[in-house]
Structure 1
Amino acid sequence: MPAYFLVNITVRDPAKFEQYRQAVPAVIAKFGGRYIVRGGAVEVLEGDPGLDRVVILEFPDAAAARAFYASEDYAPLLALRLSATEGSMALVEGLPG
């Protein structure tokens, strides 16, 4: 069953974030992940979700998503992202295929 990272961030240091943005796609792909949404325009239709830069990543399953997040490959990029942004990230299981 697929799993998704739902990410909402506000970029505080654009130069550092650009380094992250350039490097992370290869690491995501290494763990079978792919972008579903990558920072496109947000049109709020109801409520105030507090969304800024929204990213949705799909992985084959939750184990692959967790392996990506905990990997030695991602660790320095995670540190870079955390130093350049503020926000939230959640792992959500999808529906069976």
Structure 2
Amino acid sequence: MPAYVINDMEVTDPQLFEEYKKLSPPTVLQYGGKFLARGGRAETLEGGWSPSRLVVLEFPSVQQAQAWIDSPEYAPARRLRQLSSNSNMIVVEGAAPSA
């Protein structure tokens, strides 16, 4: 079942974050993931949530998403992300296909 990594982040060091943006995509692909949203315009439809930069990734499973974030391949990019932004990140299991 697919899983979605949702990262609501505030970039604190734009120059360093540019380096992260170069390193991250190949690792996502390596673990079977793909970008569904990557910092595009977001509008609040209800409530008070107003993310500054929202990223949504799709992986084949929660386990694959966890393997990616804990991988040695992603570790250098992850460190850059942690140094250049503040993140609130979750992984959520996708809904079963409807009949």
User: TM-score interval w.r.t. the shorter chain?
Assistant: over 0.9
Distance 2:87 2:72 in 1: 22
The aligned runs of 1:1-97 (5 Å cut-off) are 1-97=1-97
TM score, norm. by length of structure 2:
0.94
Aligned pair count reads 97
Structure 1 stretches (4+) deviating beyond 2 angstroms? none
Structure 1 residue ranges without an equivalent (≥5): none
Aligned-residue identity in percent = 39
Distance 1:87 1:79 in 2: 12
In the alignment, is the contact (CA less than 8 A) between 2:36 and 2:55 conserved in 1? yes
TM score, norm. by length of structure 1:
0.95
Structure 2 residue ranges without an equivalent (≥5): none
In the alignment, is the contact (CA less than 8 A) between 2:2 and 2:59 conserved in 1? yes
